[in-house]
Structures are given as structure tokens and as C-alpha cells.
Amino acid sequence: MSHEEAELRKFVCLSTLLLLLLAALPAMAESAKCNAIPWGEPLTAVEQIQYSHTADGIRYYKVTKVEACGISKIEDTRVTYGFRENRLYTTIVEIDKAKDVQKVVSLLVDEYGLPDTKKDSGWDVYRWENDKLKIKLKSQYTTDRIKIGMYYKPLMPK
């Protein structure tokens, strides 16, 4: 693919993303009503999870039931929660064979603004950061896979 074709493709993707964002605003307002688990919530307050593994001091639990809201309304998702110091530190969302990457990204753009973007080893990488959260979304065009990691900054290792 030539440089011009790559730039044109990037322009078309960004234009499509912005159009989808405008078209999806009413649906996103509805999805904001989801009862998400608050960041820093103690492990004992979370239901319907199953221990998976521990890595780097973080205990990971698979969610056994996902409420259909936000990204889960758009795509079939696998959700894993990570607890540090027995408090919710990270949420990992994985989507195989994503139907529409732009819709998933547009939900995050609506909530957190425009991301920093780059390409890394065949993945498109989007990053957002605010006072409380670091978010990284990786999408792979060739396999239609999406991985989203959200990290609660007050519990990050110093």
C-alpha cells in the first residue's frame, strides 16, 4: 500500500468515526445509565465473578455475567476484572471478530475525548488518560480483534 493510500484510508476511517459518533449520541446517552462497578470498589462488593489467576500482585477474575450496556450492547465481550489491594484496579475487555471497531472507539471518544493513536506490530493503538484513568484500546484489522484495558490510576504501583 502506498503512502497516499494509507493516508486516504486513515482519513476515511477518521471521517467515518466522526459520523458514527454524531449518529450514535442518543444511544450513548442511554448507555451512560449502566450500573458499572465503581473504581476502587472492594472485591467483596462484586458479584458474579470467578477467580482466574494472579499476576504482578493483581488478582484477576472473569465476569460470569455481563450486563448488556455500553460496549457489551454493541459486541459480544469477555470481561476480566483485576483487583489490587483487594480493590478494583483494572477492567480488561476482549472482543473477537468485532463487528464495528468504529462504534466501540466512538463510545470511548464520547466519554474521554479524542485519543492519542499509533500503529504497533499490526495493531491500531488508541490511548486516553485523565486524572483517574488510563485507557488503552488495541484493534487488529486482519483478525477483527479488540482489546481494551482500563486502569484506575490511584491504585497504580508507584
Which residue did the predictor score with more confidence, 69 or 132?
Answer: 132
Q: Give the pTM.
A: 0.71
Average pLDDT, the chain: 76
Name all contacts of 120-127 with Cβ < 8 Å and 24+ positions apart. Answer: none
CA distance linking residue 16 with residue 107, whole number of Å: 14
Task: Give the tens place of pLDDT for each residue, 40-91.
Answer: 999 888 888 899 999 999 999 998 766 655 665 556 778 889 999 999 999 9
Which three three-digit cell numbers place residue 73? 450492547
